[in-house]
Amino acid sequence: MDKRLYPAMITAARKAGFPIRMIRDDQITWAGATPDAATRDAILAAAALGDRQEAVRAECRRRIYAIASAEAQSNMALAQGQIAARPGSGRSAGDLALLAGVAAALDWVTQMRAAYAALSADPDADYTSDTAWPDCPAEAKAVAAQF
């Protein structure tokens, strides 16, 4: 068993009702009842899925932050709120472009979340491939670059 799976294994076992006291050299010491072979296999499969979900989540986060850092996202939301608070007649062309770019960015993040869900559920999908993820719209990139 891959040692990277130990934390996910402990979590999956606890959720299955079979808490683990210790894992050493691939030997599991159970804190209570010992699960049967089928349950152990199910726990290991759940651990592998949990590990994959974390890896895909990290890749999704990395791709989003490559376009807009957390600070940029916060500033985009603040600017959007300030513009939205003004009456429509008081908005400039730049304001409208910013609103369109923020809307495009939010739509892209929604698409990224959907891609995360699909990629984390498919053990054969290559989540590191650029083709597995939606492209960020140009207007979203342009707005993010301002912040």
Cα 56 from Cα 126, distance rounded (Å): 10
Distances (CA, A) of 75 to 2, 62, 85, 135: 41, 19, 15, 22
1 pLDDT higher than 80:
no
pLDDT tens-digit series, residues 3-36: 878 888 899 999 999 999 999 887 899 999 999 9
Q: 126-138: per-residue pLDDT in tens? A: 999 999 999 999 9
The DSSP 8-state label assigned to residue 50 in this structure reads H
HSE-CB for 28 with a 13 A CA cutoff = 23
Question: How many angstroms separate the CA atoms of 98 and 92, rounded?
Answer: 10
pTM, 2 dp: 0.76
**CA 6, chain centre distance (Å):** 21
**What is residue 76's predicted lDDT score, i.e. its pLDDT?**
96
